[in-house]
């Protein structure tokens, strides 16, 4: 049994630091790092690092980023159930941070946008027995709705981070 189930996104962060944001058509020199990210995945990792029994449910492609997240999950000892979407890449984000700490972020949801309600349904027992279900809207909204419906029917406390803005959000609430 898990205390927290997170139904959320995995996104490979591609982060650039530069003193000044480039203007349109301009190139700037900066530093680069890459690593695991995504609102849902970050929440699951944080809970797991606090020794809270956590399950992450999400979607990835069949690519190098998915291989990397599997290795990271194993190194963290995080329980995860990943739907592999062979026709869609793992989500990725381009993050540019300037010297003042301001950021510009563009996210390509990739496989996250194809997380299926069927995949969620396969883990309805884990959701039903959790103390908390945590969701955001970086996934297919129907999958988020399915998870929230399962949790609500069993009296599980649901926590929704309503970001990023999603037109389907009001329907899910």
The tally of domains found in the chain comes to 1
- Bridge partners of 131, per DSSP, are none
Give residue 164's pLDDT.
Answer: 78
For residue 73, pLDDT over 90 is answered with: yes
Residue 173's pLDDT band (cuts 50, 70, 90): low
Task: Look up residue 12 and give its two tokens.
Answer: 């490979």
For residue 97, pLDDT over 80 is answered with: yes
- What's 119's domain CATH number? 3.40.1190.20
Query: 29-71 pLDDT, tens per residue?
Result: 999 999 999 999 999 999 999 999 999 999 999 999 999 999 9
Range of the domain at 152: 4-22+30-172
**Which residues, other chains included, contact 18 with Cβ-Cβ below 8 Å and sequence gap of 6+?**
28, 29, 30, 31, 96, 97, 98, 99
Could you tell me how many residues make up the chain? 173
Task: Look up residue 57 and give its two tokens.
Answer: 């449910």
Query: 131-156 pLDDT, tens per residue?
Result: 999 999 999 999 999 999 999 999 99
- In angstroms, the CA 161 to CA 168 distance is 14
């Amino acid at each position: 049994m898990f205390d927290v189930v997170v139904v959320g996104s995995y996104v490979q962060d591609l982060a650039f630091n530069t003193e000044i944001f480039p203007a349109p058509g301009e190139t700037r020199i900066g530093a680069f790092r890459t690593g695991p990210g995504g609102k849902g995945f970050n929440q699951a990792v944080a809970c797991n690092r606090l020794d809270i029994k956590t399950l992450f449910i999400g979607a990835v492609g069949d690519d190098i980023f998915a291989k990397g997240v599997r290795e990271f999950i194993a190194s963290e000892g995080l329980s995860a159930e990943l739907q592999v979407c062979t026709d869609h890449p793992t989500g990725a984000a381009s993050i540019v941070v300037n010297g003042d700490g301001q950021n510009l972020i563009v996210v390509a949801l990739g496989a996250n946008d194809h997380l299926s309600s069927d995949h969620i349904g396969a883990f309805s027992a884990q959701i039903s027995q959790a103390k908390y279900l945590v969701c955001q809207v970086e996934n297919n909204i129907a999958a988020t709705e399915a998870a929230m419906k399962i949790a609500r029917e069993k009296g599980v406390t649901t926590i929704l981070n309503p970001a990023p803005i999603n037109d389907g959000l009001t329907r899910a609430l």
